Amino acid sequence: MKLFIKFDFNAVCNAVLKDCLDALGLKYEILNFGEVAFLEKVPDHKYEEFVAALAPYGIEIVEDHKRILVQKIKDAIIDMVYNSDTEVHVKSSVYLSEKLEHSYGYLSNLFSEVTYTSVENFIILQKIEYTKQLIINENKSLTEIAFQLNYSSVAHLSTQFKNTTGITPSAFQRIIAKRREENN
């Protein structure tokens, strides 16, 4: 039997952080996605235990200021793409500038310098991953998905999907439908 799982990145990450922090008996506050404030001095050995507890989940502590801002850019993009309560019908450059309080030019240059890819490419990758999830989990039409993700047209979404995955979204839908038939 095969199961398809839908999950919220923010909720999963916050749950992992909460579990690890509670297990170590640390006093903390989860501020934003990917930000934790310790409410007391953390002994070195507890800090090392916390870092080690996060490692199996692929979660790392970011300490370099440039990398912190790049992580905030990534988090803002993920929030913009995945959360329907976020106003996605605004240009991503405006959204990032306002959310992170830096010019888009600075954010874009820093992101490229640290990640060796562009902000625009990262946004496209996130949108395509979310498109796949919407097709698999919510059985949404390409028109609904294109509107939700602020594409100018279904054709634009289809082109980016094919350029990223190598297949059209319609072909992806057919593959998913066939797999569901085989599993039933």
Q: What is the mean pLDDT of residues 92-109?
A: 91
pLDDT band of residue 159 (cuts 50, 70, 90) is very high
Alpha carbon distance, N-terminus to C-terminus of the chain: 9
- pLDDT tens-digit readout, 33-47: 677 888 888 888 888
- CATH number, domain at 159? 1.10.10.60
pLDDT band of residue 129 (cuts 50, 70, 90) is very high
Count of beta carbons in the 10 Å neighbourhood of residue 161: 25
> Is the pLDDT score of 150 beyond 70?
yes
DSSP 8-state class, residue 136: I
101 lies in some domain: no
According to the model, what pLDDT value does residue 86 have? Answer: 47
108 lies in some domain: no
Give me the long-range contacts of 49-56 (CB less than 8 A, separation at least 24): 49/24, 50/20, 50/21, 50/24, 50/26, 53/20, 53/23, 53/24, 54/16, 54/17, 54/20
pTM of the model: 0.68
Cβ neighbours of residue 80 under 8 Å, at least 6 residues apart? 86, 88, 92, 95, 96, 123
**Looking at 17, 42, 61, which one is the last position of a domain?**
61
**Looking at 61, 82, 107, which one is the last position of a domain?**
61
Cβ neighbours of residue 151 under 8 Å, at least 6 residues apart? 127, 145, 157, 160
> Is residue 142 a contact partner of residue 170, using CB atoms and an 8 Å limit?
yes
- pLDDT tens-digit readout, 160-181: 999 999 999 989 988 888 888 8
CA dist 114 and 111 (Å) reads 5
CA dist 54 and 43 (Å) reads 17
According to the model, what pLDDT value does residue 89 have? Answer: 66
| 15 against 184, higher pLDDT | 15
- pLDDT tens-digit readout, 68-94: 899 999 999 988 888 755 445 678 889
Q: What is the mean pLDDT of residues 144-169?
A: 91
Q: What percent of the chain has a predicted confidence (pLDDT) above 90?
A: 30
Enclosing domain of residue 4: 1-61
38 lies in some domain: yes
> Is the pLDDT score of 120 beyond 90?
yes
**Total number of domains constituting the chain:** 2
**Looking at 11, 46, 61, which one is the last position of a domain?**
61
107 lies in some domain: no
88 lies in some domain: no
pLDDT band of residue 1 (cuts 50, 70, 90) is low
> Is the pLDDT score of 22 beyond 70?
yes
> Is residue 52 a contact partner of residue 64, using CB atoms and an 8 Å limit?
no
| Neighbour-count burial of 94, counting CB atoms closer than 10 A to its CB (0-12 exposed, 13-18 middle, 19+ buried) | exposed
158 lies in some domain: yes
146 lies in some domain: yes
96 lies in some domain: no
